[in-house]
Chains A and B, each alone.
Chain A
Amino acid sequence: MPFFVVKRDLPGVTPEVLQSAGLRAKTCCAEMTGEGQPVRWVRSFFLPETAQTHCYFEAASKTAVEEANQRARIPFTLITEVMEMTPEMV
């Protein structure tokens, strides 16, 4: 299943707000998966210098990732498919 990155600009965000968003993302992904539209929040990175987050999702389509974020009510600026690369692969 393809991976997607969800970019967010979150100026002034606190760790608690990120935790709250994570819980919402997790539960919405579980709900959508239960509905037959598999989507999984894999992990997120917060970039303190730019107040951005890069959140990685695994899903069948970009639409599914977009819907999961909309349901979780987490704002985003960009969703795009990414190519996975690990040290073991090169």
Chain B
Amino acid sequence: MNDADLAASFAIFAAKQQGANEVTADHILVGCLRAISRFGIATLGPWSVDLEPMGVDWVRQPEGPRPKVAYSQDAVDLFDRAALIAKSSGDPAVGANHLLAAFAAEEGGLMGQLKREHGISSASWRAAVARMGAGDNKPARVESEKKSAREYLTPEEAAEALGVHVQTMRAYIRSGRLPAFRVAGERAIRLLRADLEKVLEPLNGDKKEE
């Protein structure tokens, strides 16, 4: 299964989760982002997109009988555009990067929402996807390194820093094991990097080192 197959499979799953009759372009965008995501966060260029607010339960696996869904006409148009992009790039097969690039000009739907929320322009989206397609994620890595040096972290960044699941991190916050702060007037939660050590317990902590 290549990443376009995976993205399509996630898109179909997203449509079924919503009880939709058709797989729309929005579902395909969600599917592509999930296909390139890690711990529920899709990082593309300088942007980190949290999949949970999009209704993606990224740890849940498909189960049981589900409604049947068909591709919508806007999904078909998107696949056609992605195939054109793949051809113009000289790539033999359509990948998730071509599908993502096909969203660049979209102003409506979920892509429009992402553009507004993250200040994404068509050109910057294409540029980020192009770097991803070339397998050169250096800009994304540099950005993540910059973030990792920050004093305050998002729950997702804190989870990554500790190497635990983001849901584990949320449980630490809920239980009070880790102090967390809300940015004034916002929903955003931040953790102090230095506080992360509070959940680290030494192995054999009650034994003296020999």
Contacts and interface: CB of A to CB of B under 8 A. Distances in A.
B5 to A, nearest CB: 6
Q: Which of B68, B75, B79, B87 has the most CB of A within 10 A?
A: B79
B80 A17 contact: yes
B136 to A, nearest CB: 25
Interface residues of A, number: 20
B68 A73 contact: no
Contact of B83 (A16, A27, A67, A70): A16
B66 A20 contact: no
Contacts, number: 60
B83 A19 contact: yes
A78 interface: no
Interface in B75-92: 75-76, 79-80, 82-84, 86-87
B97 to A, nearest CB: 14
Given A71-B68, A73-B70, A73-B76, A16 B84 contact: yes
A73 B71 CA distance: 6
B86 A27 contact: no
Q: Say what secondary structure dominates the interface of chain B.
A: helix
B70 A70 contact: yes
A20 B70 contact: no
Contact of B65 (A23, A35, A71): A35
A23 B79 contact: yes
A70 B70 CA distance: 7
A31 interface: yes
A23 B3 CA distance: 12
Given A23-B94, A26-B5, A72-B70, 6 more contacts: A16-B87, A20-B76, A23-B8, A30-B1, A30-B5, A73-B71
7 contacts: A15-B87, A17-B80, A20-B79, A20-B83, A23-B5, A23-B79, A31-B12
Interface of A: 15-17, 19-21, 23-24, 26-28, 30-31, 34-35, 67, 70-73
